[in-house]
Chains A and B, each alone.
Chain A
Amino acid sequence: MDNTIAFTGLTKSFGRLPVLRQVGTTIGSGQVVGLFGRNGAGKTTLMRILYGMIGPDAGQASLLGLDPQAHPVEVRQRVGLVSEECHLYPWMDANALETFLAPLYPKWDRELFRRHLASMEVPPDRRVDALSRGTKRKLMLSLALAAQPEVLLLDEPLGGLDAVVREQIVTTLIHSLTDHGVTIFLSTHEIEQFAKVCDRVIILSHGGFLVDRETAALTDQVRRVTATLEHPVEAVPAHPQILSARAHGTQVEFVLNGFTQETADAILANWKVREVAVSGLTLPEIFIAFTAGKEEVS
């Protein structure tokens, strides 16, 4: 698998505030990778660095084999970005936007743009400032997709969209894109929505990657262990693999990262256990387990 997106040692600070610290990974062609993190974790900064809008303080990034800082034009012609920070010209309508943007993208497909507008129910002749927030987002998506990008960077793509369109985007659109080999790197708080389409999950916290695993492996390896003890306990002893834990009388519950039966047994060996249950976690639960109690600085 080729490295469509690759970055290593990316570091970025704004003033004296570190935002990214030595992060790096590779993403193959056609993958859908979700970047999750709390507010202020540095997701948008990472997206902007990858798109070449800002430069890192250290480290290197590559999209489609191109350095976005050195070749911003070539990268942007082949990479689409839908960002919540981007605002379209309020006095333009979809038609004017298309006329404006089409010459900038060599693979711009006018028909595809029309189809996306129609499928997302975006009126082509209404000024942007007369559109709802969700419709603006749909228009931005349509514009990004009309350029037929090889990589799509989505920064909070579902913000302001109603449930129907969300579902439409997640299930239909993303599958359709990946079928065409488009690599998608998305950052979102809508973890549950994207859980089913993400091949990989990256959890960003305090400028570093806490998790960078295949989605299936992650859900396999992070398990909740619930045990009923003979005697009440006050706390669960610290363990490097325990992400979160809770003790309530004779009931203890902890989330284990890198679950194995041996590890769970080793932790429970301190008590007389009456009953043990191991259950899986949803992706949002895993995210919370990893990031709860870790305030981000913004």
Chain B
Amino acid sequence: MMSILYKEYLEHRLFFLLMVLTGLGSLVIARWARVLDNGTGIVLLFLLEAPILTYVVAHQAVFREFQQGTLPFLAGLPLGRSRVWLAKALFAGLFAAALYLAFALLGTAFGLTLEPIRFDRLDLFVFRNAMALCGIPVLVVAVGLFTTLLLPEGGALLAIVFTATTALVGYATHALAGMNLLLLEVLVVVALLATSWYTFVTGNLFSAWRLALRAVLVLAACVAAGTLLWVGIDTLAEGAVRLEIPEQLRGSVTEDGRRFFGQVSATAALWDTIPADSYQRAVEIDLATGRGRPVARRTTAAGMPTRDGRGLFAYDPWVWPGVAARQDLLFLDLADGGRERRVDREAVPHFLLPDDTLLYTRFSTPGGHSLSEICRWSPARGTHPLTAFPTREFRGPWPVRLFSAMLLVAREGKTPSRLLSLADGALLPIPLPPGATLAAETSRFAVFGIHRSGRLWNTSAGTTWFALDASGTRRDLPGLPPQAELRGTLPDGRLLVRTESAERVAMGRPRTTTLSTYRVEDGASQTLAVFQDVTVVTHLAPDGGYVVCELVAENRAWTWLDLAALPPAGSANDRESGHAAPLSGSTVTPAKDLVGNRPAGGDQAATESRLPSGGQPTGAGQPGNPDQPATHRQLAPGGQLVPGGQAAPEPATTPVTTPPATALFPAPVTGEPAPALSPTPIRLPGDGFRTVICRPGHQALFYGKVGAAGELWEADLRQGSTRRRWALTF
């Protein structure tokens, strides 16, 4: 075997030097032309030159022997054919390694850094991991050692076609998306090398058209066998998949509140057909027991459950080499053992109607025309198209098509809006200005916003609000500030509004966040609570009785506001004038701001607030040092916010019948109306809780990681009590 290696070395040493000089020359030219940046250099060396040159050498292994007539001489040497083939394969590998090393040294000399490159549009998978420097040469050598057996008479054209196809499939990003590329490459390389070895050893080289045809059949057989193998591995790997305990639950709860459908990450085995780093799995979690199970095929990501929990709409990413990835919309009939029904291909779901009918958009090309169709789908009646819109088609070369698409995107905001009748699909014009989007609905109004994004010459961004009633009459809502965000609708029709101040502190957190209500009918607003230096995420209970606030600073804490304690809509007290309605019940101290500053107006600004029955929570201290900058906020367990990460509760300065609920209880900023409610902290073990499931009756479920376990805690908000309900198991 060393003899063959020596012979190959003698034969290729000049070629190698020539190749290195080629690489050097290309770098010199690129630098001279001032186009040599890191990406260009790496693409030039490692994506173009090195693979092509490596392929040439591997392809020459037998092909060149045939060309110069030395194949009989080589075959007549006292060497097993296996050894000859192995020596040639080994040399091709060594050549590739030497070439890549030489190019790496060249690149380093030219100041290139061998790091992965991500392209905006051309995200080549070869740069996603170490395959860039290891996998590609191996694949190229394998392809070369296969095509080297396609000898001139019958196989030159076939070799070109095969190599070009392999390169196209290999370099196309989407063709291989969703597949375990390492496994795929191993299978392809093994198949190519095995075919090459067997063909060489048996001496039946593909040296005539008849034999070239056999090569095609061999390839087809390999593809068929590979597909079967792939499916087999896919099936076997299912047993080795480990569902991970999620940090948070992403998904939906059924209307009865008993089950949760969502998706969790799964860790696939190295030999799995699915890449381990992007594997999501649709699961169902029994909220009573915490027992979870996968509910669909292994590549299916969760969508939305029906209200009755009998079915689940889910997406199935469908991928195969050479075919672009797409997502099929599936309906999993949970009442029928999870039987899959395909709703449509390439469909985008919108929402579920009250009768569990899905409203979605599908894209089709009947007669060569592109259409967007809005459809309804139900398990009983299937698809029922409501209306269709022609989609712009772009013709011409790709730069023209791209430019046309960009123009269309720019004009999208100017498309007039229409109202779609779900009954008969009729489209009714509605007086909506371009860019208006539906933000909230009450029993009488639909509230829209037109968002202006900040531009270079005009940094003011915000939303202009207006409402339409059933007659289409427009009503502007000047009382809703441009920075407002509508977070839901209360049962009495008032909107829950979150407004963040433009001023930002550490980590982009707003200086103040105000929660308030707003009534469309008369523009009355009422401040519920003001938070400082935290990001506030609200979760409105389905019955509108309370809102859970997720406070995110350096860490995370939870608190809640009892909306049931608000005076009924329309009462004089809820008119915002800087004075919240006096509430019956316990009185609390005038709230302080988050750094303990006493609000202007002192006690005059004190708000009476009716605390939840049970008077919870108590004992939460005031935040401490008023001099502490509010840029490093640390939320203590239970929701206290303390400066500098130190839990430093400060006694209330004013005697109160019930101590302030927490330091998070905000005070109105100077000049601002007093908050009507006092946030009550929710005590949870640690700050690993990321998910809340609000249920009617002041019951909330919190899910989070406690240590390694995923735990669900149940909070009785009025009682102020929390208890561990279960730990998630799969």
A residues near B (Cβ < 8 Å) are 51, 53-54, 72-77, 81, 83, 85-92, 96, 99-101, 103-105
Please determine whether A100 and B69 come into contact, CB atoms closer than 8 angstroms: no
Partner of B3, one of A87, A88, A101: A101
Instruction: Please indicate the chain A residues that have their CB under 8 angstroms from the CB of B21 in the complex.
Output: none
Instruction: Assess whether B48 is interfacial by the CB under 8 Å rule.
Output: no
For the complex with contacts A73-B78, A86-B72, 13 further pairs of A-B residues with Cβ separation under 8 Å are A53-B75, A54-B203, A77-B78, A83-B72, A83-B76, A86-B76, A88-B70, A89-B7, A89-B70, A91-B10, A91-B11, A100-B6, A100-B7
CB contacts under 8 Å to A, within B56-95, are: 68-70, 72-73, 75-80
27 contacts between A and B (CB under 8 A): A53-B76, A54-B203, A72-B80, A73-B78, A73-B80, A74-B78, A75-B78, A76-B76, A76-B77, A76-B78, A83-B76, A86-B72, A86-B73, A86-B76, A87-B68, A87-B70, A87-B72, A87-B73, A88-B73, A89-B7, A89-B11, A89-B70, A89-B73, A91-B11, A100-B6, A101-B77, A105-B78
Instruction: Please indicate the chain A residues that have their CB under 8 angstroms from the CB of B78 in the complex.
Output: 72-77, 104-105
B residues near A (Cβ < 8 Å) are 2-3, 6-7, 10-11, 68-70, 72-73, 75-80, 203
CA distance A8 to B78 in the complex (A): 24
Partner of B72, one of A72, A85, A96, A99: A85
Please determine whether A73 and B3 come into contact, CB atoms closer than 8 angstroms: no
Instruction: Please indicate the chain B residues that have their CB under 8 angstroms from the CB of A87 in the complex.
Output: 68-70, 72-73
Instruction: Please indicate the chain B residues that have their CB under 8 angstroms from the CB of A81 in the complex.
Output: 76
Q: How far is the CB of B614 from chain A (nearest CB, A)?
A: 92
CA distance A75 to B73 in the complex (A): 15
Across the two chains, which residue of chain A brings its CB closest to B202?
A55
Please determine whether B3 and A104 come into contact, CB atoms closer than 8 angstroms: yes
Please determine whether A53 and B68 come into contact, CB atoms closer than 8 angstroms: no
Across the two chains, which residue of chain A brings its CB closest to B77?
A104
Please determine whether B73 and A96 come into contact, CB atoms closer than 8 angstroms: no
Q: How far is the CB of B283 from chain A (nearest CB, A)?
A: 60
Instruction: Please indicate the chain A residues that have their CB under 8 angstroms from the CB of B76 in the complex.
Output: 51, 53, 76, 81, 83, 86
CA distance A89 to B78 in the complex (A): 17
CA distance A73 to B69 in the complex (A): 21
CA distance A294 to B69 in the complex (A): 32
CA distance A89 to B511 in the complex (A): 82
Across the two chains, which residue of chain B brings its CB closest to A92?
B10
Across the two chains, which residue of chain B brings its CB closest to A90?
B68
Across the two chains, which residue of chain A brings its CB closest to B81?
A72
Q: How far is the CB of B63 from chain A (nearest CB, A)?
A: 15
Total A-B residue pairs with C-beta atoms closer than 8 Å? 54
Please determine whether B80 and A96 come into contact, CB atoms closer than 8 angstroms: no
CA distance A99 to B77 in the complex (A): 14
Instruction: Please indicate the chain B residues that have their CB under 8 angstroms from the CB of A77 in the complex.
Output: 78
CA distance A251 to B78 in the complex (A): 58
CA distance A246 to B6 in the complex (A): 62
Across the two chains, which residue of chain A brings its CB closest to B68?
A90
Instruction: Please indicate the chain B residues that have their CB under 8 angstroms from the CB of A92 in the complex.
Output: 10
CA distance A100 to B68 in the complex (A): 17
Across the two chains, which residue of chain B brings its CB closest to A87?
B69
CA distance A4 to B203 in the complex (A): 27
Instruction: Please indicate the chain B residues that have their CB under 8 angstroms from the CB of A76 in the complex.
Output: 76-78
Q: A100-B7, A101-B3, A103-B3 are in contact. Are A89 and B68 (CB under 8 A)?
A: yes
The 3 closest A-B pairs by CB, nearest first: A76-B78, A87-B69, A77-B78
Instruction: Please indicate the chain B residues that have their CB under 8 angstroms from the CB of A99 in the complex.
Output: 6
CA distance A86 to B3 in the complex (A): 18
CA distance A103 to B3 in the complex (A): 7
Across the two chains, which residue of chain B brings its CB closest to A96?
B10
Q: How far is the CB of B433 from chain A (nearest CB, A)?
A: 79
CA distance A77 to B77 in the complex (A): 8
Q: How far is the CB of A173 from chain B (nearest CB, A)?
A: 21
Please determine whether A53 and B11 come into contact, CB atoms closer than 8 angstroms: no
Across the two chains, which residue of chain A brings its CB closest to B6?
A100
Instruction: Please indicate the chain B residues that have their CB under 8 angstroms from the CB of A53 in the complex.
Output: 72, 75-76
Across the two chains, which residue of chain B brings its CB closest to A72?
B80
Instruction: Please indicate the chain A residues that have their CB under 8 angstroms from the CB of B69 in the complex.
Output: 87
CA distance A130 to B422 in the complex (A): 88
Instruction: Please indicate the chain A residues that have their CB under 8 angstroms from the CB of B80 in the complex.
Output: 72-73
Instruction: Please indicate the chain A residues that have their CB under 8 angstroms from the CB of B68 in the complex.
Output: 87, 89-90
CA distance A88 to B78 in the complex (A): 15
Instruction: Please indicate the chain A residues that have their CB under 8 angstroms from the CB of B73 in the complex.
Output: 86-89
Please determine whether A100 and B3 come into contact, CB atoms closer than 8 angstroms: yes
CA distance A99 to B11 in the complex (A): 14
Instruction: Please indicate the chain A residues that have their CB under 8 angstroms from the CB of B75 in the complex.
Output: 53
Q: Which of B7, B70, B76 has the most CB of A within 10 A?
A: B76
CA distance A232 to B650 in the complex (A): 150
CA distance A105 to B76 in the complex (A): 12
Q: Which of A83, A99, A104 has the most CB of B within 10 A?
A: A104
CA distance A49 to B7 in the complex (A): 27
Please determine whether A104 and B203 come into contact, CB atoms closer than 8 angstroms: no
CA distance A83 to B75 in the complex (A): 13
Q: How far is the CB of B60 from chain A (nearest CB, A)?
A: 13
Across the two chains, which residue of chain B brings its CB closest to A106?
B78
Across the two chains, which residue of chain A brings its CB closest to B210?
A15
CA distance A100 to B73 in the complex (A): 12
